Chain A
């Protein structure tokens, strides 16, 4: 069964509004979670690394004031897309890592964001 739950799976919002996406690890404590954006040609772009209890580490070119990440507990990380624009429309995927570095990432099922 799924070990990482991502919600919502789809969301449609109007330009200028904010959208929050949740990522939960269901049966393990995830000290580290990752947020990816997947573009139409499939490539996965790492947006940020989220560590419980500390500020997220953003990849170069990702606006941290636009993509707010909060990792308040060992089982929950949230991504908030603030003041969304149509160009923010994309497929966003979270993943979580257990505490062993050779463990594979567990992925959520993704969120399809459409900004109208």
Chain B
């Protein structure tokens, strides 16, 4: 079985500062990895995904994440936070051959002016 750990239920940054949201996973085989964003009272929107190939993946809104197999991590970063980035962020994994994702518990990103 796979699991996902998102360290920190809340992350607070100042506008313009670096954003770092952590995600570690546990899996018997290299999984597919995803980051989703959720704005209030909305569903989840895909930010980026890693399946195979280049381990540094770029997503929408200036976000990127790097798959580090040795660290079983897939941390999400953005060089400069905007107020509009304030939202909930979910990391998810899917084992190859399965449609069913496992989600982390989410991290709330708070951006201060």
Contact = CB atoms under 8 A, between A and B. Distances in A.
Interface of A: 4, 6, 9, 32, 34, 41-44, 46, 49, 91, 93, 95, 97, 101-102, 104-110, 112
Interface of B: 9, 32, 34, 36, 41-46, 49, 51, 88, 90, 94, 96-101, 103, 105-106, 108
B25 to A, nearest CB: 16
A43 B106 contact: yes
A110 B88 CA distance: 15
Given A42-B106, A42-B108, A108 B49 contact: no
A6 B90 contact: no
Given A42-B108, A43-B105, A104-B34, A110 B43 contact: yes
A4 B44 CA distance: 11
A91 B38 CA distance: 13
B60 to A, nearest CB: 12
